[in-house]
A = this chain, B = another copy of it.
Amino acid sequence: MDKLHIVKIGGGLLSDEKLMASALSSFHALVGHKILIHGGGKQANELCEKLGIQPNMHNGRRITDDATLDIAVMVYAGLANKKVVSKLQQFGTNAIGLSGADANVIRATKRPVQDIDYGWAGDIKSVDVNSLKNILSIGLSPVFCAITHNKKGQLLNTNADTIAAALAGALAAEYQVHLHYCFEHRGLLKDINDENSMIPTIRITEIDELHNDGIISDGMLPKLNNAAVALQNGVHVVTIENPEAVHDEQASKTNLIR
């Protein structure tokens, strides 16, 4: 089985030229098949502000009305995605920017309205593994933004962490997948102020306890729960780390294990 690296980076990086270049240079250094997924929420909020549109959030998830969807598509699939692609092309990685609509790779459905109507938020329904395999087979490195579609002409806003886990889970039958969740620290810290307090290994059964103890933050919890599902779906390795460490197997990082 070929190896496949799936790397999720946050959108915060993309506002800082230096951080972005360093993260993308590390992604470029990964050998073999690789997929990048990026956020862009911070830039989307900035554009909302410039346009006088108030971002509408509920439990850390965006409520996506018509105007907010247009902004998400412009920022995620346009500005953020193409900046990342052109930078990777400069480094020599043959990147191709994709939304879930492109090559019909990720099909989603509008999240059902229960207590909250999340608007044009998409829950992933299926990943077209053959389509992705074809794109990887011609030597391209896909760069995904957090936009999907419903195959009925509607674009949808889907959490980038969830996309990363869904791609990893779907591709685990075809590749030996290493899923990298990147954030600003070296790994998961016992004490947020001490990089030396990194936890090298976490069992997925410990996630709830670590959350109750305040070591896993509310923001990190859905990321880890996604990652746990990915591991259960056959993903080979899941690590939580700094983007600069993705190409370095010897670097210290947090390993999530079954």
Tell yes or no: A33 within 8 A of B by CB: no
Contact across chains for B74 and A89 when beta carbons are under 8 A apart:
no
A85 contact set on B, CB distance < 8 A: 99, 101-102, 149
CA distance A96 to B97 in the complex (A): 10
Nearest chain B CB to A76's CB is how many angstroms away?
Answer: 7
CB pair B151 A89 closer than 8 Å:
yes
Shortest Cβ distance from A201 into chain B, in angstroms? 37
Given the known interface contacts A82-B147, A82-B155, the answer about A104 and B77 at a Cβ–Cβ threshold of 8 Å is no
- What number of copies of this chain does the assembly contain? 2
Interfacial chain B residues near A138, Cβ < 8 Å? 134-135, 137-138
Residues of chain B contacted by A75 (CB below 8 angstroms): 74, 78
Interface residue ranges of A16-64 to B (CB < 8 Å): 47, 50-51
Kindly list 14 other residue pairs between chains A and B, CB separation below 8 angstroms, not including A73-B79, A73-B82: A50-B51, A74-B78, A75-B78, A77-B77, A77-B82, A77-B97, A78-B78, A82-B101, A86-B149, A86-B155, A90-B151, A94-B131, A97-B98, A134-B139
Q: Is A203 an interface residue (CB 8 A)?
A: no
Q: Once the chains are docked, how many angstroms separate the CA of A42 from the CA of B202?
A: 52
Report whether B70 and A79 are in contact in the complex, using a CB–CB cutoff of 8 Å: yes
Q: Mark A114-154, 1 if CB is under 8 A from B, else 0.
A: 00000000000000000100110111100000010101111
CA–CA, A131 to B75, complex, Å? 26
- The residue from B73, B102, B152 contacting A95, defined by CB atoms under 8 A apart: B102
Alpha-carbon distance A87/B149, docked complex (angstroms): 10
Q: How large is the interface on A (under 10, 10 to 19, 20 to 34, 35 or more residues)?
A: 35 or more
Instruction: Point out residues on A near B: beta carbons under 8 Å.
Output: 47, 50-51, 70, 73-79, 81-83, 85-87, 89-90, 94-99, 101-104, 131, 134-135, 137-140, 147, 149, 151-155
Chain B residues positioned under 8 Å from A47 (CB to CB): 74
Q: Please, how many angstroms separate the alpha-carbon atoms of A73 and B86 in the complex? A: 12
User: Whole-angstrom distance from the CB of A135 to the nearest CB of chain B?
Assistant: 7
Contacts of A152 in B (CB 8 A): 90
Contacts of A50 on B, CB cut-off 8 Å? Answer: 51
A153 contact from B87, B134, B154, Cβ within 8 A: B87
